[in-house]
Amino acid sequence: VMGATGAGKSTFINLISGSHLRVGYGLESCTSEVQVSSPFLLDGKTITLIDTPGFDDTVKTEAEILRLIADFLAATYKEGRKLNGVIFFQRISDYRMGGVARKNFRLFRKLCGDETLKNVVIATNMWSDVAVELGEKRERELSESELFFKPALEKGAHLARHDNTLDSARRIVRQIVGFPTTALQIQVETVDQQKTLAQTAAGEDLKEELERLAAKHKEELEGLRGEMEELL
């Protein structure tokens, strides 16, 4: 289960599994490590959900979060365990999906790989925080815009709503359970292809973003120095 900090990942997992994973209600992120739910039965099948920290974690850097997730996925893949799918949470209550949110989803796509998107469910939640008409308008924008989820949906990803009830949580997990097990792109890259994290698609994407930010900050710093010299 992936998504931004505060998107409701831990709450969703606790609801359906009966686990007691830490849930954050303040400004700081709560899930700073990968957490595993208690196994639970659904339609006679044993399910285990994995809670991951968001790339916008308030404590760890994006690189540290990527390392945590990649290491966990590599370890389970080496044990011969594959995922049925991935649930990505997006708050429908967000006023807008800004640059940070788009970057997080781009990293998520690189981590999964386009071939695995058919095993991805994008779940919108926090529907009780918005009027239905506004929520539906945002849902259409998210699904029809090239900047948001449209490219992923066109490659086989699925869109679902979670209304914070046990029934909707079960519907989403049932959808995932019906998918054939698969390896994520980052698992294939780090285990099968023996790539370093920096050499993976997600690692290269993050490196390019950090280099872009470094160049931007350097330019801003030079501008500030010029202003200081003029003032002095």
pLDDT, one tens digit for every residue, the chain (232 residues): 999 888 889 999 999 999 887 664 433 444 458 889 999 999 999 999 999 988 877 678 888 899 999 999 999 999 999 999 999 999 998 877 666 778 888 899 999 999 999 999 999 999 999 999 999 999 999 999 898 999 999 999 999 999 999 999 999 999 999 899 999 999 999 999 999 999 999 999 988 888 888 888 888 888 888 888 888 8
Strand bridging mode 50-51 / 35-36: antiparallel
* Amino acid making up residue 140: R
Q: Which CATH superfamily is domain 2-231 in?
A: P-loop containing nucleotide triphosphate hydrolases (3.40.50.300)
Q: pTM, whole model, 2 decimals?
A: 0.85
Q: Is the dihedral of CA 4, 101, 184, 197 positive or negative?
A: negative
Q: How far apart are CA 135 and CA 130, in angstroms?
A: 6
Gyration radius of the chain over CA positions = 19
At 24 the pLDDT is: 46
As a dihedral over the C-alpha atoms of residue 137, residue 125, residue 68, residue 197, rounded to 10 degrees, the angle is -30
Residue 184 near residue 112 (C-beta atoms within 8 A): yes
Q: Give one word for 41, left, alpha or beta, with left for phi > 0 and alpha for psi -120 to 50.
A: beta
Per-domain boundaries in the chain:
2-231
For residue 220, give Cα distances in angstroms to 209, 216, 226.
17, 6, 10
